[in-house]
Structures are given as C-alpha cells and as structure tokens.
Structure 1
C-alpha cells in the first residue's frame, strides 16, 4: 500500500498576471481554494484590483482516491522567488499565457526560461487564455515559438478559458498524459 504522501500529486499553475491562474484553480478545485490576494499596488492595478502575492491552493479528488494538489504562483516577477519554492515537489507545470498581453510570445519565452530547470525534470502544458479578446497570435504561432526554443517534443498547447472547469481539466489531463502516456482516462 502506498503511503498517504505518495498518493498526493502536486501540479503548479504559473504564468502572466491576469492569465487566470487563480480562476483556473477555483474552477477545478473540489474545495474552496486558499488564495493570498492583495490589493494591486503597482502597474498590475491597471489590469485588475487584486493580485496573488504568495500562492493559490486547491485540491482535486480523483475517482481512485488519489488527490491532486493545485498550487498557483504569483504572476508578478517581483514575487518570482515563490516560483521555485512552490515548484518544490511538483510533478509538472500548467503554464497560462494571457493572449491579450502586448507580447504573449515573449511572455511564453520568459516563463519557460524561468521554469526551465523544473520543466526539464517534469513536464509542461500551455493554456492560452483571453483569446476571445485577442485572437492573434494563434496556437500555431505558440507551437512555432516552442520549436524555435528547442522544445522537442512540443508541449501540448490549448486555447483555454480559465473559468471553464473542462478547459482546465483538459490542461491537467494533457500534463498527466505527458508524464505517463499509458494513463487511462478516468
């Protein structure tokens, strides 16, 4: 029998400010998420009223009794010290990129660089959010950028609405299938 600790899996959600990390965790979590929101006091205030300053936490219960812990990082670079702390013990990264940002492909590049060591030992799945507000760049541009950055095989890239439980579940499933291609859909 596996220990209780071994039956818990930890997935990290990271990405740009306003990409929907807190929202995605809330959409997927089977418990009310724990959030560390504070009033935005810098340039983030132009985008939204509050922002994550430490982490978000949610929990997904799987049918077989296993649990998936969902940890969201702050998006602001000034809180980047939390990225490594929260990634400790993680099995993979769901990276959310706000397509309505000025240069979302540069955002993708920056976050992949920041999480390079973590991704090298785990896996990454990419969700492109806010495509309803900005349709370009399209998903093919993200795949092209990933290829230019040397990702082989390419990580899964999906259009995602962080408010939609099914969209977020698809990102998590893609990550889990990348980690273990033999998984059977539960």
Structure 2
C-alpha cells in the first residue's frame, strides 16, 4: 500500500463502510489508515450519557487508501448517534462491504451488535462483512460472547479483536473484508 496525497481515481471505485456506535473507533480507524488527509464532520458532543467523548461525528468521516496502481479504497464512517441515523442508508449506498466496530467496554455491547446487524441487514446479507471488537481486556475471552451470538443464529462473520489506533490492526480488517468481497464475487 502506497502513500499518496491524492487518491488515484482512474480505476474502479471501491467503498468500505465503517459502522458501529459512538465511540467505537470509526473516526480513529479511518484516520489511522487513510493515505490522504481524512475529512471529518466532528462537532461538540451534546450526548455525554452515550459517550464521554468531547466530539462526535455528525455526518460522516471519509478517507482513502491506495492499494496499488488504479486501485483506491474509499473509507466512509457513519455517525454513531441515533439522531444521525438518516445518514446511514445514504452512506451505505454503493458499499462493497462494511466493518462493524464494537466497543467491548460499553454497558451492553451485544445490544450494539444486534442494532447494527439489524440496521445494516441488507448490506450485510449481500456484501462482505467483518466485526472488529475493540477496548477489550487482554485474556478476557471477549470474542467468545460474539462468536456464540453468531453461532446461535447460524450466522457467520470474521470477528477479530482490534485496537483501531494500531495501523496493522485496521489494515487486517481491511484485508479480511477485501478478501471476503472477492469470495462473494464483488
């Protein structure tokens, strides 16, 4: 993956959507791997009950990463608050897949998982999908409850423990979703 100031737009346009609740790390993940200066729509957080973050995304995050000549992946992050939910289908349009980020330290991360699986069910059923579980306690078996949730519903998705501040972790999510997209025939 090469670093460039501007994305090369002569090849096919590939779009990956980062989804998940407020504070799960969507903005951080996009900033971590983007070859270009990411564009964000951060505003002061007025919902401190949902997260103690000082800012929140109100429309979207955008970045891009060049995989090779004429191959750019466009990275979009949804706003995590319900009041900006109207943006979700707009941003999902044309996506080749989505990366669901879950903050394992939230009060009920399985409920977060359920919400995003439901809201993005059409995209998830047709396109590549991967789950990144963040903010876990090491050796906590955090992934077990998520794999069990999927197994009980006869669902499959790659589920990985990630630190979205680490470029290697976010690139791993991207590589998995691109590989799954090829398998699905994208």
> Would you say same fold, with TM above 0.5?
yes
Q: 2:164 aligns with which of 158, 162, 165?
A: 162
Cα shift at 1:44: 5.1
Cα shift at 1:136: 5.0
Decide whether aligned partners of structure 1 residues 7 and 112 sit closer, same or farther in structure 2, where only a CA change above 3 A counts.
Answer: same
Q: Which residue pairs with 1:139 in the alignment?
A: 143
Q: 1:8 aligns with which of 6, 10, 13?
A: 13
Q: Deviations over 1:116-136 (max 9, x none)?
A: 01111112100001114x865
Contact preservation (8 Å) 2:143, 2:159: yes
Unaligned runs of 5+ in 1: none
Counterparts of 1:11-22 in structure 2 under 5 Å?
11-22=16-27
Query: Alignment partner of 1:171: what SS?
Result: helix
Cα shift at 1:148: 2.1
In the alignment, the residues of structure 2 paired with residue 171 and residue 126 of structure 1 have an alpha-carbon distance, to the nearest angstrom, of 8
Decide whether aligned partners of structure 1 residues 182 and 74 sit closer, same or farther in structure 2, where only a CA change above 3 A counts.
Answer: closer
In the alignment, the residues of structure 2 paired with residue 79 and residue 55 of structure 1 have an alpha-carbon distance, to the nearest angstrom, of 10
Contact preservation (8 Å) 1:17, 1:44: no
Q: Which residue pairs with 2:5 in the alignment?
A: none
Query: Alignment partner of 1:158: what SS?
Result: strand
Decide whether aligned partners of structure 1 residues 166 and 46 sit closer, same or farther in structure 2, where only a CA change above 3 A counts.
Answer: closer
Contact preservation (8 Å) 2:127, 2:184: no
Q: TM-score, normalised by structure 1?
A: 0.88
Q: Deviations over 1:45-100 (max 9, x none)?
A: 75110000000000000123300000000011111111110000000000000000
CA RMSD for the aligned pairs?
Answer: 2.0
Query: Alignment partner of 1:119: what SS?
Result: helix
Q: 2:110 aligns with which of 80, 84, 105?
A: 105
In the alignment, the residues of structure 2 paired with residue 142 and residue 84 of structure 1 have an alpha-carbon distance, to the nearest angstrom, of 25
In the alignment, the residues of structure 2 paired with residue 63 and residue 6 of structure 1 have an alpha-carbon distance, to the nearest angstrom, of 10
Unaligned runs of 5+ in 2: 1-8
**Mapped pair 1:148 → 2:145:** no
Q: TM-score, normalised by structure 2?
A: 0.88
